[in-house]
Structure 1
Amino acid sequence: MKVLALLLASLAAVSAQTEPWCRCAAFVTYEHSEIMVFEAPEVTIDSCTDDAKQCKNSCTKELNDFSNNGNLWLVQENGLTVGQNICTYMADHFFYFIHNHRVYGYFEVCGGAWEYTGVASQQLLCCNGGKHEHCISK
């Protein structure tokens, strides 16, 4: 009887899962951590087990479209650069200074590990007090 109850509970948990999904985000890499600096809207995919390529391709397109292939100085519809949008997002989370860091695009399938899309910023990112600035070499 207990086995039957466990089996039914497992079946209910599996059937309660939502549709397969894919997350796309940009990160700045530090020596011991990764910091998310941008997240695109979720992408619906067909399968959590078979569609990593679909997720990667969708995220690559999304991140490249957002930044014109990694251009942090692209002025977006809101009148701010991609870099300024990132610096503003970071300042809103009490992270005011970023100096000489590349921004990298990643994708995540159904809650799995983040994987690199191959997308990277053309320029290094520098935020000074939440303001996007041109980077000066170290």
Structure 2
Amino acid sequence: MKNTVLALAVLGFAFVSAQTEPWCRCALFVSGGHAEYMVYELPEVVIADCESHNQCKNRCTKEFNEMTNNMDLWSTVNNTTVGSYICQNLERPIHNRYVYGYYEMCGGPWEYSGLVSQQMLCCWDGVHDHCISK
């Protein structure tokens, strides 16, 4: 009986896993205190399967670089700075924080892509501003 239940559980997991579309999320985070905060999520990228770890990382890295002009927060996209796109929906101010690129594959943990912004991010009331060191 125990083996039958185990076999059914394994088959059920395999069936559900086979039906799920693979997906890869790309997002920008800042470090604050003892936590990482997502500040902007980019569009999902297509991957072949949930074993394609390097494919997910490489496609997110490409998307980060294309959409942020190589992580340049003062680069302009459609007459708006990359930093402004990040700042406009934030509920909290951010002062002197670098932005890091992360990716998540098929519900796994967020992983660091190795990319960091060229400048620090400063946002106040949704407005991207130049950072002034203390």
Report if TM-score (shorter chain) is over 0.5: yes
Within the alignment, does 1:98 sit opposite 2:100 as a pair?
no
Which residue identity does 2:56 align to in structure 1?
Answer: C
Contact 1:26 1:106 in 2 (8 A): yes
Give the number of aligned pairs: 132
Percent identity of the aligned residues? Answer: 55
Question: Residue 5 of structure 1: CA displacement?
Answer: 4.8
Residue 128 of structure 1: CA displacement?
Answer: 1.4
* Displacement after TM superposition at 1:71 (Å): 0.8
> For residue 36 of structure 1, what is the amino acid of its counterpart?
M
- Residue number in structure 2 paired with 1:25: 27
Q: TM-score, normalized by length of structure 2?
A: 0.89
Structure-2 separation of matches of 1:58 and 1:74:
21
One-letter identity of the residue aligned with 1:128: W
Matched residue, 1:43: 45
State the partner residue of 1:124: 120
- Structure number with higher strand proportion: 2
- In structure 2, the partner of 1:7 is 7
> 5 Å matches for 1:38-117?
38-49=40-51, 51-77=52-78, 79-90=79-90, 94-95=91-92, 97-117=93-113
Stretches of structure 1 lacking an aligned partner (at least 5 in a row)? none
5+ residue gaps, structure 2, are none
For residues 124 and 113 of structure 2, the distance between their equivalents in structure 1, rounded to whole angstroms, comes to 28
Contact 1:19–1:44 (CA under 8 A) maintained in structure 2: no
Work out whether 1:135 is the aligned partner of 2:118. Answer: no
What code does the residue aligned with 1:30 have?
G
Separation in structure 1 between the aligned mates of residue 126 and residue 89 of structure 2, nearest angstrom: 8
Provide the C-alpha distance between the structure 1 equivalents of 2:14 and 2:80, rounded to a whole number of angstroms.
44
CA contact (8 A) 1:72 1:122 kept: yes
Q: Report the residue type matching 2:81 in the other structure.
A: T
